[in-house]
Chains A and B, each alone.
Chain A
Amino acid sequence: MNETESIREQAESIVSLLEGAQLVVVTGKGGVGKTTLAALIARTLAARRKALLLEVDPRENAHRILGMPPSGGQSIQVSPKLWLQNLRPQHVLDRHVRHKVKVDLLARKIIDHPVYQHFSEGAPGLKELAILEHARRQINRGWSHSQVDVVVLDAPATGHGLSLLRAPELVASTLTGGPFASLGHELHEFVTNRRKTAAVVVSSAEEMPIEESIELLGALKELRISPSFCVVNGVYPPWNPFFQNALPVEVAELWSRRWVLEQRGVERLTREWRGPLFEIPLVDEVDDDRLLNRLAKEVRRLR
């Protein structure tokens, strides 16, 4: 196997762990490069099957990494097998209502009704449920050409995407009956089924993000969700004491200390998480266009 092939292997090994998944949920604390990772995963998956990158955020961001204009809430095509869509949380439930209530006039009345508005704001889990249902509806279940084979969901950073994954069970237990409750049951089965939904945990190597990732892993375990892999992103280059004399003092000090801290962080994670683990180094790339290509080459499997 020559070098190019082994480089390609690294990024592909990420994807092989996601083989067969219909929904990939990318979770993690804000600021660790979650959206970039989600884009990388979607793009790599799209080499083989049709993929949709779904971003849930009132402010669009994912489009930049893919070199596209904002999606504006629609599904836009990025490449032959890759689509991108941004969902605004408050509108997802409205879309769901419009989808369910076939009579347009009634749907509008419901959406405009203050009781509905306050209810949808206050009833726990409904918005998240609508997001998951929207994602699931995009997956090709045989009846529409416009559907995709896999949806990569860039989970909201708040709550680390946990509230999203917990929502179905929450709704199923809070509501005593009706279509939302049964949807809750269905989606709970969907997200906890490893053959259908894959979870990915992204972290940086710093202390706080590592601790939070460990907490997140614990919470996912309680939900009976076992992540397919974890990624430590933005790792500093390895420090070698021989560099000491060749570098300015402050750089040498910073580099050596950060290296020690990050190694500690990664070690901590490898003790708490026994599954597949990847590391992506900091990459000196300004251009968004080239960034994903570089990242794909630099992915390193630690376990």
Chain B
Amino acid sequence: MIGSGGVGKTTLAAALGLRSATAGDDTLVMTFDPSLRLKDALGVGGEAKGEEVVVPFQGSGHLAASLLDAKMTFDRLIRDYAPDEASAQRILGNPYYDGLAGGLAGILEYMAVERLWEVVSAGHYRRVILDTPPTRQALDFLKAPERIVGFLDSGALSLALKSWFDGEGHLKALPTWGGMGRRVEAWLDKQVGMDLLRDMSEFFRAFGPLFEGFRERAETVRQLLRSPETVFYQVASADHKRIPDVLYFARQLEEEGLRSGPVIVNRIHPQTDSFPEIPGSEVFHWLGERDREGLRQLRSLLPGLAVIGLPMWQKELTSLERLDELGGLLEHRMGGESPGSLDSGE
């Protein structure tokens, strides 16, 4: 499920998950920042971080939900894949790792990808519904693995860092870079000081043995995302101001060769007249008109895609029953089109 923040992506992911499980498919909904109400409805509390929590409900399939904790996932991956305890500690204890795991742009998306790989490989679910992080760059999570793997790798970087420090931890001159290289090095030295460079060097060296595994997994997920088993649903609002974003994401999906499902235009206001004696009704009238016009525009601008409108929900979505109603309406409007499944060769 992709889309800008605040459009109801997570709620719809949960609703679709519920329908999927009701129909008999074991389903996992992976979320990022579900609202407090949704957390209650799904039972995705503190225990769900990084793990799958079974959602209790009446249906023939199983439904589970998980909430991503990037740092926890990264730590666990290091421990799982480091050749031994000592190497794991060298990485986990490195001061640069601390800042990196928290602050590196794209780390959240990258960890989501790792989790996705884990879940898919374990094979417990017929269907996984991935709610993506609420960024304005909806497809960041696609690019993140490549970027981060590229960052962790880079022949030049690991090569360079390997020989930056001699046995005593002193920075040494690199004849291979020549005079200019030495000036770059000197400039960086002067700018950032020695400890950070040393920590980074240590980190990359310790990370070295794990790198290949990360790269392979990222590649597997990359293939999965591009396979016919994966469909991207874009969730949007009908607000005309956001239409350029919707078009942009749709175009990006196409350019990346990814399979686009319907565009779900969510939270559409009902149409109503403006009554002079009812102050505020003109705002509702405008909202109804705006959303109707937005939906119409999106339909005409995206002729190759199914553009589905969903109304603003009357009741608060605080229970599974209500989520199910929403999911039912969505399914009905999609014309019984079912989301991609993880069956191979069916």
Contacts and interface: CB of A to CB of B under 8 A. Distances in A.
A237 B37 CA distance: 24
Interface stretch (A40-48, A107-115, A217-225): A107-115
Interface in B248-283: 248, 269-270, 272, 275, 277-283
A122 B203 CA distance: 12
Interface residues of B, number: 64
Contacts of B103: 124-125, 163, 170
Interface string A115-135: 110110111110000000000
Contacts of A170: 99, 103
Contacts of B136: 30, 57, 59, 157-158
Contacts of B100: 122, 124
Contacts of B102: 124
B151 A281 contact: no
A184 B189 CA distance: 16
A122 B314 contact: no
B6 A30 contact: yes
B99 A174 contact: yes
B241 A178 contact: no
Interface string A230-261: 00000011110001001110110111010001
B157 A124 contact: no
B290 A179 contact: no
Nearest to A288: B241
Interface stretch (A1-9, A14-22, A142-150, A207-215): A207-215
A68 interface: no
Interface string B24-41: 000000000101110000
Contacts of A251: 270, 272, 284
Most A CB contacts (10 A, CB to CB) among B187, B282, B287, B290 go to B187
Given A114-B156, A118-B157, A157-B136, A123 B36 contact: no
A265 to B, nearest CB: 12
B187 A110 contact: yes
A190 interface: no
A181 interface: yes
A295 to B, nearest CB: 13
B306 interface: no
Nearest to A60: B244
A302 interface: no
B183 A176 contact: no
Interface in B185-218: 187-196, 200
B200 A122 contact: yes
Interface size on A, as a range, is: 35 or more
A41 B265 CA distance: 31
B157 A30 contact: no
Most A CB contacts (10 A, CB to CB) among B99, B154, B160, B312 go to B99
Contacts of B272: 247-248, 251
A32 B7 CA distance: 11
A248 B270 contact: yes
A237 B280 contact: yes
B193 A238 contact: no
B183 A106 contact: yes
Nearest to B197: A119
B312 A254 contact: yes
B34 to A, nearest CB: 9
A176 B269 contact: no
Nearest to B282: A284
A122 B151 contact: yes
A118 B154 contact: yes
Contacts of B282: 284
B314 A58 contact: no
5 contacts: A115-B184, A122-B151, A174-B99, A208-B33, A251-B270
**What 8 pairs between A and B have smallest CB-CB spacing?**
A237-B280, A31-B6, A284-B286, A30-B5, A124-B103, A114-B156, A176-B193, A177-B193
Given A115-B160, A257-B316, 17 more contacts: A109-B184, A114-B160, A115-B157, A118-B151, A122-B100, A122-B200, A163-B103, A170-B99, A176-B196, A178-B193, A179-B190, A246-B277, A247-B275, A253-B314, A254-B312, A255-B284, A257-B315
